Structure 1
Amino acid sequence: MRLYIKYDGIVACRVILQEQLELLEIDYKLLELGEIEISNSVTKERLAQLQEALNKYAIFIVSNEKSQLIQKIKDAIVEMVYEKDKLPSVTISQYLSDKLNFSYGYITNIFSEYTYTSIENFIIIQKIERAKKLIIEDELTLTEVSYKLNYSSVAYLSSQFKKVTGLTPSAFKRIVDKRRSLSN
């Protein structure tokens, strides 16, 4: 038997964090995506236990300031692409600058220096991943998907989709539909 699972990675991560923090009896407050405020002092041993517990879920505590900023940039982009019903109408540079309180130039320099890719490339990859989910799960038309993801046209979405996946969105949907029919 094969089961298909739909999940929200952000919600799953929050639940895992809550469970592990409560298991270790650490007082906390969940802030924005990827941020936790610890209410009381925690020993290094307790933090090591928390990290060990989170390792099995591929969740890591980030201690370096630049690494924290990189993670905040990624989280802000993921939040923008996945949590909004429709992407914001402001420019991405303005959105990130406002959200992170840094100039966009500084943000892009740090991001590319540490990830060896551009913010634009990371956004495209996230948007294409969301497009795949929308095509598979919500069974939206390409016009609806391109509107949700702020693409200027279906042709532009299709062009980026093919660049990232090697397939056109239509070919991708046919493959998914074929696999579904074979497994039923």
Structure 2
Amino acid sequence: MDNKTLYIKNMVCDRCKMAVQQVLDKNALPYTSVELGEVELAQPLNTEQLSKFKEDIETIGFELIEDKTSKIISSIKTSVIDFVRNSDESRKLKLSVYLAEQLGKDYNYLSSLFSSIEGTTIEQYFIHQKIELVKELIVYDELSLSEIAYKTGYSSIQHLSNQFKKVTGLTPTHFKQVKENRRKPLDQV
């Protein structure tokens, strides 16, 4: 394993990046960048440093990924989350093209690997991530359903509503009326 690049499971937001940076700083581990799911270190870690870092990130809900397949699956998930949350990108490229470019691998290979390991397709994972973003935006109550549909890349409110109901069992309007929080953490989608 290249101890200069670390792959970390469950990093799904900017707060996750900050939490990992705090662990790096606490352990005086110099790094060049911290991105979703990946840390570039300034220098390789010795076994003791790696063990301590692994232990520290596990206490805050993250996991060091050490095998190749898990790294690829984690990278796919991170890239899908990034794609969903970066609405400008999702209007310029198809998801398959975006993933192939981001990961430097053929999309058919990525899709097949993801399905065999996760038991679902990349497309289904993508749809669930979009629905979680829609839930978040509905809960915030700052945008109309039309604006949410546009922001999340749906062609119409009807398309959004149909997919939302298929995934959640509720219409977006009914979801908004239900006061209990039905959102899931992104790493559990």
* TM-score normalised over the length of structure 1: 0.85
1:4-153 equivalent positions in 2, closer than 5 A? 10-84=13-87, 87-153=90-156
Q: 1:120 to 1:94 in 2, by over 3 A?
A: same
Q: 19-28 or 137-146, which moves further after superposition?
A: 137-146
In the alignment of these two chains, the number of paired residues is 170
138-147 vs 83-92, greater mean Cα deviation: 83-92
Q: Distance in 2 between matches of 1:84 and 1:163?
A: 22
130 and 163 in structure 1: CA distance in 2 versus 1, 3 angstrom threshold: same
Answer with 1 or 2: which has the greater Rg: 1
Which one has a larger percent strand, Structure 1 or Structure 2?
2
Shift of 1:46: 1.4
What runs of 5+ residues in structure 2 fail to find an aligned partner? 1-11, 182-189
Q: What's the secondary structure of 2:92's corresponding residue?
A: coil
Return the letter of the residue paired with 1:47: L
**How large is the RMSD of aligned CA atoms in angstroms?**
1.8
Q: Distance in 1 between matches of 2:18 and 2:34?
A: 13
1:126 shift after superposition: 0.3
Larger CA deviation: 50-59 vs 125-134 = 50-59
Q: 1:88: Cα distance to partner?
A: 2.9
User: Which stretch has the larger CA shift, 107-116 or 148-157?
Assistant: 148-157
Greater RCO, CA 8 A, separation 6+:
2
Q: Which runs of 4+ in 1 moved over 3 A?
A: 83-86
- Give the deviation of 1:41 after TM superposition: 2.9
For the Cα contact (< 8 Å) 1:87–1:148, is it kept in 2? no
1:150-169 C-alpha deviation (Å, 9 max, x unpaired): 11221111111111111100
Instruction: Give the Å deviation of 1:86.
Output: 6.8
Contact 1:162 1:168 in 2 (8 A): yes
Deviations 1:111-134 (A, max 9, x none): 111111100110010000000111
Confirm or deny: 8 A CA contact 2:114 2:122 kept in the other structure: yes
* 2:87–2:153 Cα contact (<8 Å) kept: no
**1:66-106 CA distances to partner (integer Å, 9 max, x unpaired)?**
11111111001101112445733321111111111111101
Give the Cα–Cα distance (whole angstroms) in 1 for the partners of residues 69 and 85 of structure 2: 24
